[in-house]
A and B are shown apart, each in its own frame.
Chain A
Amino acid sequence: MDAILLQILNGLDKGSAYALIALGLTLIFGTLGVVNFAHGALFMIGAFCAVTLQRLLSLSYVTIDETRTDFLGNPLKVKTPYVESWFGPEIGQALIDWSVPLSILFAIPVMVGLGFLIERGLIKHFYKRPHADQILVTFGLAIVLQEIVKFIYGANPIPTPAPEAFSGSFDFGVLIGFEPNAIIYPYWRMIYFVFALIIIGAVFAFLRFTTFGMVVRAGMADRETVGLLGINIDRRFTIMFGVAAAVAGLAGVMYTPINSPNYHMGMDFLVLSFVVVVVGGMGSLPGAVLAGFLLGILESFASMNEVKSIVPGIDQIIIYLVAIVILLTRPRGLMGRKGVMEE
């Protein structure tokens, strides 16, 4: 029982990442009708927003402390981050420590701006082109973004730790009556899951309860009619692209403490996220979220030793296997709408 619970928990953080990326992908597909292969790259850029902010905050100047010497006997060089000298050592240290959560504030404008740029500069011209062309051009864009990041930050993963306060683990089992140490779960993964739920909730609320969201939903159902009613639907869709980019970016920002970001993390997630979208049903937002969590949890179950001893290698292929079975038996995915990309 506790093993099962533990696997469910373990699946949640990866599932959250899948769900967030898939949500953005579906949002773009549902509004603009564009298959965005660059979405994984947006996730990766989000993660590197966190790296950037961490580096910016840790920018230091060097002073020479004559009173102390290093092991060679030379005067010790002391690095002091600028933030420490501006805000005092305590606040400065805290700022650096909390750089990942702070990056959320930094990443939102960056990602929305980047989203606008991509949509207006590139994707706009591809509304009417076949899906294959959209896949290809965004695939090219993904390569370009990835290479640019590789240039700036190098090819190695960059560790970006979570704040000290969240570095430990939480004994989840005790809370619900298991023995101590039966179910241990890192704080940050829990935060990631809650964060993902908040973002998903926010996106759904935005679409559901605001006038803007209502217009967007109307546009998703029938773009032409909304346009004929004198509403500038293109502009709203562009904004939605920015939102989707921000969702992917935030997923990336918060993922950095779980997995050190490297330049190809986007591509790794992209393939899986597409599978998630297709399993959930093309164009269905709840489907994408549901499938994201479902596949994340399934993946973590498949990596249990008990399961692996029955079906060796199942952990490597479970997601693809599920996707193939679903695609072949339920053409519309789990919650796909009728008439959306049926062929």
Chain B
Amino acid sequence: MSVFTIDEVKKTFTNGEVAEEVLKGVNLSLKEGEITALVGASGSGKSTLLTIAAGLQPASDGKIWFEGQNINLMNQEQIRKIRASKFGFIFQFAHLVPFLTVEEQLTLMLDVSETKLKRQEQQREIDNVLKLVEMDHRKNAYPSSLSGGEKQRVAIARAIIHKPKVLFADEPTASLDSKRSKDVMQLIQRLTKTLNITTLLVTHDEEMLAYADRVIKMSDGLVS
């Protein structure tokens, strides 16, 4: 079942008098419980498409359908609410809050997503997710004491703690070595299946495509 539809999305960046069309009318549907990987050369528009789909920047034209609503017509507050409660993000870097422990990173995300959990339920949820990403033994550690792979696992835990409908992963393994990249991708795959999340993944690394259910190639701002 399609839960997320990108319909004729265009994006034009203007630099002075020069206008560059990065997305030229992209159509794409994401299915529940599937990992869709976007691949393509640098400048093909894959990261731009992901950030537009995630509500991090607006499209110049087109529609993005999610739960019956066109995200591209929503105001900032409406998009923020969806980002907080329905979307999860994994970036190239973990982007953890430096002054929060692993456990607090997840508490913050639960607070932000306004999940109405009692303290005990919240704690149980955090423990479960930390076990899932195998970081329960480091729950009181600060990001500065974690390795790159551990940070990315915490970032994944933060991205799924509030049970998002869609997970956006932009080059999640780019800053990791080969072994850790595989670990992270296996984890994303496992979580997508276990929690029935819809995942949109952008990657340069062809080895990571093995974990995707569907691979979409982009070139020159179009899905080919």
Are chains A and B native binding partners rather than an unrelated pairing?
no
Please report A residues at the B interface, Cβ cutoff 8 Å: none
